[in-house]
Each structure stands twice: as C-alpha cells, then as structure tokens.
Amino acid sequence: MFFFCWGRKRDDIPDVTDFGQKFIGVDNGNLEIHGADKISWTKLTQSVVKPSTAADGLLFSHDLGSSWDKFDRGIYLYEFNYKKKELVATNKTVYESNVRQDIEEDLPARIREMTSGQLAMLAVREEVVRPDSTFDLEPLLTALEEKGATQLRNFQQGDAYAAIFIKGKEEDTVEELAQMRGHVFTETKILTLTIKGAKYMVQSGNSVKQQPKRLTKQQRQYVRFQALEQTDFRTTSLFLADDVSSWNVGDEILIGSTDYNWMQTEIRTVTNVRKTRVDLDSPLWFDHFGEMIDNVDERADVGVLTRNVVIRGERELSCYGDNHCDVFDIDIFGGHLKVHHHFGSVNIEGAEFEHMGQHAVLGTYPIHFHMCGDTDTAEGVPSPYIRQNSIHHSVSRCVTVHGTSGVQVVDNLAYLSIGHCYFLEDGSERRTVFDGNLGTGTMEGVLIPTDTAPATFWIKSPDTYLRNNVAGGSEDKGIWIIFPESPNGLSASMDPPVWAEGEARRFPVPQIENNVVHSNRDGFFMDNKLSSTDALLKEGNDYRPTEEVVFKRITAFKNWKQNVWIRGSPLRCDHCSLADSPRGITYAVAGGDLVYLVNSVLIGESKNKGESEILKSVTGDGSTSYQKLGKSVPNYKKLDTAFNGFIVYDVTQHVRDTHFSGYVSDDFRQGGALGWFKNTLAFSMTVNSVANLTFDFEDDTNGNRVFDGDDSGDFGTEFGDRNGDKSAIIHDYDGSLTGHAGAHVVKPRWFYNTHNCYNVSNWNMAVCPERYAKVRLNSKLDGDALLQDLFVVRDDFHEHQEEIIGEKLNTNHFLMINNYNYTVHFDGKVGDEVEMTLDGFEKNVHRIRLGLCFPNDTESFVMTYDKTPIVMAASMEEFENATQTDPYTAYWDVSTGLLFLSLQGLEERAENDWNACPNKELTSQCPKVKITRNGGGMFAACYEHAYGPYIASTPPADDTALTAPGLLPATSMPQN
C-alpha cells in the first residue's frame, strides 16, 4: 500500500493553515497506520567480510589491483576475457578528464578494438571531461553506443555513470546514468552481469554539496569494480541474533558500519531468509564486524527498510527554488506527517517513510507530534506510539515530539536524515519513551542552529526514558543530552510552565540504560546549554540532579573524537563498555558531587581493525603517493592523537572494578588505560582515585596502564604544559594500578617528586607514596580580579621556580607535597585581597607551610581561615609552635616580605568518604583562606631575600620509599 505526497514547493498557492504543503495532517481526528509485523533490526552474530582472496571466490577487485591508488577524475575501464575469467593486461586503466588524447583518441580506440570474448566494465569518477572542456566526445559516445551503452551521451556534471558490455553481445549490456542527487553521493546501483560462472560488478558514486566534511578528497567520489566466481553455493550470508522470518525475499536491508566512518553502512536486497540467516543479492564492499570483545558488543546493526505500507514524498532530481540550494544538491522538500492536539488516537506502526520532511520549513517532519500536551494522562486512553517503522532518506529529521508528553517511540529504524533525527523540540516534552530505536546516517542541516552539529538522539528534556537504542552513525553526536534554562520555542508561553527556570537541571533523568553509540564524532554527550532562541551555548550544562543518576550499560565504540563525555554530578556509569576511541570516557565538572565509573570494560584498540586508512603524502617534487595503513584511524589528519580509556578531568571522580585492554602504543600514537585531559587549565582533585582495576596486558611489554605526555614534542602535538597539565594526579587506593596501595601517580618532575618516588618511563609519570594537596589562588586589586602569573618555590628545591600561568580567572592552582614548605611569588602587581581554596586537606594529615610574597611595606593584614580569624605570631618559632595544633596563626616576615600560613585540613576523613574535602555533608565546601592587606605598594620581590634564610635540604628517602615492582602483570577481568 502506497501513499504519495506529490508536488513541488509552490509559492503561487496558499499554505493550508497549520500544515503547509505536501502533508498528511491530523487535527481533531484519528490516525491508525498498521503495517505488517516485522522485526525492525537485529545484530550480526559473526563478522561478514568483503571478498579479498581467491578462497572467497575473488577473481578481481579494483581496490586490490595495481590501480587502487589512482584517484584521478575521468573514466576507468577494465577488460576481461570472460571465457577464461581473466583480466586483460593493459598499461592503462584511467582516462583522465583533462587529457584530450585520453578522451578523444585512446579510450574510443580501446573500446572499438575489443575482441570477441572480451567484457568491459566502465565507470566515471566525478566527470567525463572538465566543465569548460572543448573535447570532442563523439568518437567515445559512438564507440560506446556500438556496444549497446547509450546513456553516457546525457551525462551532466554531478551525475554518476557505470556500464558493463561484451563485444558481440550488445543485447547483454547493462548501464545506468544516475541523476537523482542523493544524501551522500549521486550513485548508480551495483550493476551486475553474470556469464560463464563469473559475476562482474561495477558501481560509480559522485559527490554532492552536503557530503560529510570528514570524507577525504579521494573518498568524495568512487568507482568500484569486482569480479567473482559465481556458483550455486557461493553467496553472501548474514548470521543474525534474532529470528527474522518476518523479512521477505526482495526486502532491502541495512548493514551498519562498525568503523569510524558511518558511510560504510550498506544496503542490499534479501534473496533468501532462514530464521536467523539471510542471503544477499551481492557481496559487501566493506567488512562488518560481528563479535563481542571482552563484553564490548561491536556487532553490526542489521535492519529492514522495506515495509508493506509506504508513505513517500515525491522527489525532484535535484534541489530547486528557495530550498537552501547553496548548501544542498538534494531536493529537500519532501512530504510530512503532522499531528495536532485534540486527536482521538494516533498510532503508527509497520510503515516505511521515504523522502519525508522539508528542511527549509520549520515544523515539517516525517512524523511529528505538534503541541499536543499530555497524551498519557486521560483515564483509559493509552499513550500514542510510533513503532516498528523504517524512516529513511529523510530530508528533515526522523521522529519529532514537540510540546507533547507521553509519546512512545519504539523499535524504529532511521537511515539517512538531515538535522537531528529522533528529536525533542522545546524541552517541555515529558515521559517520552525511546526504546529499541536504531538511527544511522545523521547528517548536518541548517534548519536550526544546532543542526550543524547533528545528533541521532537529541534529548532536550530530562524526563525521558532512553533505553535499548543504537545511535550508529552521525556527522557529530550519537546521543546528545542538553537542556535549555526553561522550555523554549512555542513551549515558552505554556501556562503553567512545564519546567520552572533551571528546574530541568535539577531533575534526575529517570532512565538511560543499554544504549549503544558508534561511528560518530562524539558518542554519548551530555553537556552545553541552549539559549532562549535555541542557539548553542558552549558552556557547562550545570546539571546537578537532586539525587544520583545512574547511566547503565552504555556501549560506545569507534567514535572518532570520544566515546563518552558527561558533565554533571552526582552520577555514575555502571557496566559500561567502551572501545576504539581516542578518549574512552571523560567526566566534566558541574557542582561538587561525586561521579563514578564502575563495573566497566574499556578497550583502547580492539581486533575490530576496520577498513585500511589510505594516507596521502606529497613528495618534494610535488608528486603524490598513497599508502594503506592496514587499519582504520580515528582522525587521519592527526595520526599522533594519543588514546586513553579513562580521562581524569575536573570533577571529583573515582573508578572501581573496571577492566582495561588494548592500550598499546604504535608507530603513530601513544596510549594508556588512564590519562588526563590534555593541554588544560582544569583543576583536578587530589582525591580522584582508582581501585580494583584489572588489565589484560603486561605493562610496558604489551601496553601501558597509564600514559600522559608533555609539551616536549616527543608525544604528539596535543599535549601542553598548562596549569592543569602540571598538576595531574591520581590516587591508587588499593595498589591495583601501580602495585602500591595508597600511592599517587604524578608528573615526573622533581617539583612534584621526592626521593621516595620512582619514575615509570613508559607512563611518562612518577609513582610516589607522598600525600598531596592543592591550592587554588585568586587575588583582587581595588575590587577587581587580577589575572596574573605566579611562580611557586619549594624550599628544598629553591633553584627551580614552578610557573603558574594566569591565562584565565580561577585557573591559578598548584600541587604541593604534604609536610613540605613552599613560597608563592606574584608576577606584576600584588593584590590587596587574596583568596585560597584548599583541596584535599585532611585534619591531622596535611600540614604545609606556605609563604606568600607581599610588599614589605604592607602595614597590616586581616585574615580568616574558613571564617575563623587568623592571629599574627611575633616570630617564626612562635608560628611553628602555634600551628602544630591548628592553622589559625600566621607570621609576617617583613625582612623577606613573606606572610607565612600553615595550610591544614579542618575535618577528618571517614572511611568511604571520597569527596574532595572530607565531611562535605557538614561543611558543604573546601576550606578557604582569605587575606586582606592594608597599605603598602603594589609590587614585591621576595625570592632573593627568601633564599637565603629559607633554603632547606632535600629529605632523603625514608621507610615509605617505593621501588618499582618490575613488570606489572596482566590481571584477571572481574566477573560481574
């Protein structure tokens, strides 16, 4: 059953009020669409690979032949002796579009001179000739027409063309001129010709304006040639996790990418169905992984596009009119289905939606609930559902829920869409259920500002149930959770409001469980804000729910920038499985509550190697060459990007009961299971810790448990030496990371080390038994915040001045060792107000003497230590004695200009108190020291006067000294 939305966009007729043009509309009525019951999608149970050897029946492949590295524009031609199933040797494959002799003489002659028994496969890559060419094409076109190939005569720039023909068998010629502009390519079908026990296949694809930017120049067009032995028993079969007996011969199915590039998703036609096995009409061009690796499920998604109820928007060959044709080649004015409030019932299942949505018109989407309010609160009225539909080749979103609550979106498949796909529009939508949906091929759009960074699941309301979904390929994000300050758009005027201002940022998300994100830029992403006009605000989301939120069983792999980025607290990720990404998981600060990663598995590089990256290089004489790397890479432009599993950043965070594997450095990049956010100013906590970690590799020999680089240039270009980089630290609570319970991992610099530490060269870090604490220092002058550099000196290492660069307010912080003495010196003007926040200090544990450099003509100081006044001692001896028991005494050494304080903790840390500062429930924050100085100048120079009298000897190693444990062995993965 077919329903067509016909017609071009018309400006000469009025729109239908509230609906526009080319639509199916529901207003005060019912809509019940119920197609056949078909399972929407499943997964492979074993990998399926492209033919690559004679054992696979491969006779020939362009990608494995001598011309694989040719990417010139023009016509590609291969000849075969089809009786012998052999490639005819020739010294030329490519006839370049800008070479007159190629096009006017050599190629026509080669086609005319084919002998009996010869078969030719031909495909155009990008163009036949250049747009301004004066070449005579008639000899070529005539030669082809003599072989039965007549369509190239109508070729225009942007088209795709391929053909197979046989000398003397013109009636068997197959060809296609593709002129319909597609989402990613204008492309022909896979043309096939079977003869004498061999199957010959060719396909051509040409670029379009809206093509994803990540495609390399050589990927923007393609030609594919293949010849295979064809026997009754040789077929491409998929073995699947579920019974797909509901699928039919002739159905089109999708085989999803399992690589960084989602454009490796392929469409094939079913030729046979046997419960959990389906046979395909032709082999696959790419490998599709089908295995679980250490509990990480990287199996390809397989879904059905064909349904017996079809709703299709009519398409023009290309973009026209005022439909953003400067951005798109494709016709973006499809049909749309819109449901208004006061409907009786709306349920849509088992239907196929194709070329739906209108990307130049707001509010026109394939399936759209528009400002319907609560749909699930009336007694005896079930929630509306969108279930088991396929929504493909959409030109504006997939499923939109707008100002409507209680909608259930279940078991749908979406493939190729422009702009956000599964879409909550205003943030007023509540109790929406997204369960078991698959989305892939989510492309950039321009309808709203954030469509330029599209998400397959755009979750704008925290009151959402998100479970069992797969975001299997987007130009930007897989799942993006982002809340406005309050609902915007049409929902902003709701009375009463659905959310009070800021309320959404305190609401605990009820369920995020068993979702998969792969083949995106960012996999699972929870951050940023939205303005009242829906513009993206690239600032922290300030998500601080009233109770801990648990994200269960996130699976993320092959996301080329990062697998998981979450800002918010308190929360935890439980039983998460992450692999094959430069960044496994990063938590970012919002509030001061705890975040955890528990019971999880992180893999740096798995055996899912993907498609070989093709690296381009240009020699000194300007010639170009290409190299196959043997595996895919996240970012071909930055091969030296280091990779880590857990990224320590700027929130109080702890890792427990987690397994790591595959963190092996290679010729291009460094890797380690744990690492730190790179080139950062961020303030990380000294209490951040790990416990009960396991590793499937012997450290150094087969991988790195830890890795962090520096700005030396030896570790890649992304590392820095900013304030956050210098103070990198992690606490090994039980010794499962370093072999030493209670040890800290810090930078291998003497400023942060003692004689009790040892360096781990393959980590580029040191392991120390010392206790550490941090200070964040801010100052003001005449009420205005000062942005200034500091340098910090350790008394026993006084020759070195550790620079703390004042790049940004609130980012001057430094790491100190317990029971050591330091001085701080200001570069430039000295503030009249100084505030220090103390991180990680514990009562009866930490005591650090700190001298602050002030002008020595300062008249007086007013000081408080966490609101308790600080008194001034008359001498250093009096100061030292008084501060043995509490920190409420200071000493002003006017001769050196140093004001001495004793930094100590005020609360004891109880067992299992993992907060940055202990007893947070009582104190709510870490202690602050505030200093106001009266009188005196604005500049101070204390260093030369201080060292001198405050030079100290470096303590020797003591009975806490650690020694390297030798090779850290592989450890068993926990069973949970």
536-560 pLDDT tens trace: 999 999 999 999 999 999 999 999 9
Q: Can you give the pLDDT at residue 412?
A: 99
pLDDT exceeding 90 applies to what percent of the chain? 91
Residue type, 386: I
How far, in Å, CA of 922 to CA of 698, rounded? 44
CA 50-207-172 angle, to 5 degrees, is 60
Do the domain assignments include residue 792? yes
Q: Does the pLDDT at position 374 exceed 70?
A: yes
Sign of CA dihedral 968, 970, 972, 974: positive
Q: What number is the average pLDDT over the span 483-505? A: 93
Nearest to 142 by CA among 111, 176, 172, 175: 111
Q: Kindly list the distances between the CA atom of residue 659 and the CA atoms of 321, 637, 730, 909, 973, in Å, as whole numbers in the listed order.
A: 56, 30, 17, 28, 6
Q: Which residues face 193 on adjacent strands?
A: 200
Scored b (16 or more CB within 10 A) or e, 902-930 reads bbbbbbebeeebbbbbbbbeeeeebbebe
**Distances, alpha carbon 332 to alpha carbons 321, 393, 553, in Å:** 10, 10, 37
Q: Is residue 333 pLDDT above 80, yes or no?
A: yes
Residue 18 counted as domain residue: yes
24, 91: one domain: no
Residue 68 lies in a domain: yes
* pLDDT tier at 960, thresholds 50, 70, 90: very high
Q: Look at residues 543, 576, 593 and tell me which one is the last residue of a structural domain.
A: 543
Mean pLDDT of the residues in the chain: 96
Average pLDDT over residues 152-173: 97
* Residue 311 resides in a domain: no
SS3 62: helix
DSSP label at 215? S
Q: Residue 403: which region, alpha, beta or left (left: phi > 0; alpha: psi -120 to 50)?
A: left
Residues near 920 by beta carbon (within 8 Å), at least 6 away in sequence: 592, 913
Same domain? For 203 and 288 the reply is no
Q: Is 175:161 a contact under the CB 8 Å cutoff?
A: yes
Q: Are residues 860 and 840 in the same domain?
A: yes
Integer Cα distance of 566 and 543 in angstroms:
10
Where does the pLDDT of residue 413 fall: very low under 50, low under 70, confident under 90, or very high at 90 and above?
Answer: very high
Domain count, the chain: 5
According to the model, what pLDDT value does residue 877 have?
A: 98
d(CA 160, CA 839): 63
Return the pLDDT at 233.
56
User: What's the rounded Cα separation, in Å, for the pair 39 and 37?
Assistant: 7
- Which of 509, 528, 543 terminates a domain? The answer is 543
State pLDDT tens for residues 803-857. Answer: 999 999 889 999 999 999 999 999 999 999 999 999 999 999 999 999 999 999 9
Same domain, 224 and 250: no
- Residue 532 — pLDDT band, cuts 50, 70, 90? confident
Q: In the 8-state DSSP scheme, what is residue 142?
A: H
The pLDDT of 323-330, averaged and rounded, is 97
Which residues, 6 or more positions from 862, have their beta carbon under 8 angstroms from its beta carbon? Answer: 931, 932, 934
- Locate tokens 């199915």: which residue? 253
Predicted local confidence at residue 716, as pLDDT: 77
Q: Do 503 and 357 lie in a common domain? A: yes
Same domain, 206 and 251: no
pLDDT at residue 923 tops 70: no
**Domain that includes residue 940, residue range:** 773-946
Judge if 190 and 241 occupy the same domain: no
Rg value, the chain, Cα: 33
Torsion, Cα 502 504 507 511, to 10 degrees, reads -160
* Beta-bridge partner residues of 55: none
| Longest CA–CA separation in the chain, Å | 110
pTM for this entry: 0.97
Tokens found for residue 954:
């470096």
Average pLDDT for residues 499-521, to the nearest whole number?
A: 97
Same domain? For 15 and 66 the reply is no
Q: Assign residue 967 a region (left: φ > 0; alpha: ψ between -120 and 50; beta: otherwise).
A: beta
- Judged against a pLDDT cut of 90, whether residue 388 lies above it is answered with yes
In a domain, 623, yes or no: no
Q: Which residue type is seen at 664? A: V
Residue 924: predicted pLDDT: 67
Contact yes or no for 523/501 (Cβ under 8 A): no
Q: Specify if 807 maps to a domain.
A: yes
Omega prior to 484 cis, within 30 of 0:
no
d(CA 700, CA 762): 6
**Tokens (6 digits) for 296:** 């990480």
Closest C-alpha to 680, from 559, 553, 555, 808: 808
196 and 245 fall within a common domain: no
Neighbour tally for 37: CB within 10 Å:
10
**Are 375 and 432 in contact, with CB atoms under 8 Å apart?**
no
Q: Is 900 within 8 Å of 840 (Cβ atoms)?
A: no
pLDDT band of 338, cuts 50, 70, 90: very high
CA–CA dist 584, 602 (Å, integer): 7
Residues found in the chain: 976
CA dihedral of residues 27, 29, 34, 40 (deg, nearest 10) = 40
Q: Evaluate whether 437 touches 459 at the Cβ level (below 8 Å).
A: no
Domain boundary among 518, 543, 568: 543
Supply 530's token pair.
């939205």
Give the dihedral of Cα atoms 150, 152, 156, 158; nearest 10 deg.
Answer: 130
- Does position 215 have pLDDT exceeding 80, yes or no? yes
- Residues 934-951 have pLDDT tens digits of 999 999 999 999 999 999
Residues 394, 258 within the same domain: no
Q: Say how far apart CA 609 and CA 613 lie, in whole Å.
A: 10
Same domain, 877 and 941: yes
Question: Residue 661 falls within a domain, yes or no?
Answer: no
Any domain includes 20: yes
Take residue 613 and report the two structure tokens written for it: 């990256």
Whether 425 shows a pLDDT value over 60: the answer reads yes
Q: Looking at the structure, do residues 80 and 105 belong to the same domain, yes or no?
A: yes
Whether 442 and 456 have beta carbons less than 8 Å apart is answered as: yes
79/75 Cα distance (integer angstroms): 13
SS3 assignment, position 627: strand
The confidence band for 976, taking pLDDT boundaries of 50, 70 and 90, is low
Please determine, for residue 465, whether its predicted confidence score (pLDDT) is greater than 60: yes
Cα-Cα-Cα-Cα dihedral of 597, 700, 736, 572, to 10°?
Answer: 0
Residue appearing with tokens 């091929």? 441
**Over the stretch 79-136, which tens digit does the pLDDT of each residue have?**
999 999 999 999 899 999 999 999 999 999 999 999 998 999 999 999 999 999 999 9
> What 3-state DSSP class applies to 489?
helix
Q: What is the pLDDT of residues 179-214, one digit of tens each?
A: 999 999 999 999 999 999 999 999 999 999 999 999
Tell whether the model's pLDDT for residue 921 goes beyond 80: no
